[in-house]
Amino acid sequence: MDNNYEKYLESFDRISDKGANFLGLKPLPSSLCVEKCANELLELMFPGRCEGAAGQSFQDIIINQLNTVKWTLSNLIFLSFNHECDTTCENAHTSRKKTDKALEILFEELPAIRKKIKEDAEAGFNNDPAATNLHEVILSYPYIKALTIYRVAHSLFNANVPILPRMLTEWAHKETGIDIHPGAEIGDYFFIDHGTGVVIGQTTVIGNNVKIYQGVTLGALSFPKDSSGNIIKGAKRHPTLEDNVTIYANATILGDVTIGKDCIIGSSVWIKEDVPESTMVLLQEPKTNHREIKKMSI
């Protein structure tokens, strides 16, 4: 065997029996299957968005799509749970029970999830003068794709499904440029205008009727550590936005701070402390310098 091949093989723990990598007896969900699942979810929420189904009644189309999504998610959720068996469950039977429970929770929540996504689409149409109709928003605005996947992934995240919720939202991140952690709490009638570069961290809480623009970061200021110097996971470390908040492009809000209801946060500001309700936060107006451009003679 070529020496370079041997060196590369040695980089895998599995070769020296130290543990399994992605290929093994307990495979993880594949990226291609996650992508397929995400598109099936979009089709379920907005039938005909991805593809048409000629010759069937609307009821049959929806039932068939529900079955497709259930079958696809069932496999992915099972792989996610089963991969964790070495540390958190006893066997594949336990993983199947957890999968069935997570699916039961999600399908109970699907009507409410779809209602929220419809309201998100209406928020885009009502808040963007460039939108000519609701179909345009649903078919072309990236935030609809990002929020559809986020709202399903959030249900799975709350049902303690490992791995898959993050894979779904990272697929949406790749597709739209909008990075929403599935653990974030987002209320009703949410609109992200343009969307590119938006980051919404895991412990962010967003109220109702909130609007944000491109480049907004709702992030963590620092990561608290325990006495051993390890990062403490699960602590509230991202902002809370109360109802009716608007945040303009490239604003950065960091840490466990609260932006009170009815606030307006201007472009490019940096916020690390609470903002009381009904407050407008703006950068000081910059001075501009105008000078004549002198043309050089040839």
pTM of the model as a whole: 0.89
Residue 226, pLDDT above cutoff 80: no
| Alpha-carbon span 296 to 298, nearest angstrom | 6
Burial (0-12, 13-18, 19+ Cβ within 10 Å), 120: buried
> Residue 31 CB: number of other CB atoms within 10 A?
12
Q: Are residues 156 and 189 in the same domain?
A: no
Structural domain count, the chain: 2
Is residue 87 assigned to a domain?
yes
Is residue 37 assigned to a domain?
yes
Q: What is the extent of the structural domain holding 167? A: 30-48+55-177
Q: Are residues 127 and 200 in the same domain?
A: no
pLDDT at 102: 97
- Note the pLDDT tens digit of each residue in 86-112: 655 567 889 999 999 999 999 999 999
- Which of these three, 177, 200, 215, is where a domain ends? 177
Q: Are residues 144 and 200 in the same domain?
A: no
- Note the pLDDT tens digit of each residue in 112-170: 999 999 999 999 999 999 999 999 999 999 999 999 999 999 999 999 999 999 999 99
Q: Are residues 140 and 159 in the same domain?
A: yes
Q: Among 67, 161, 81, which residue's Cα sits nearest to residue 110?
A: 67
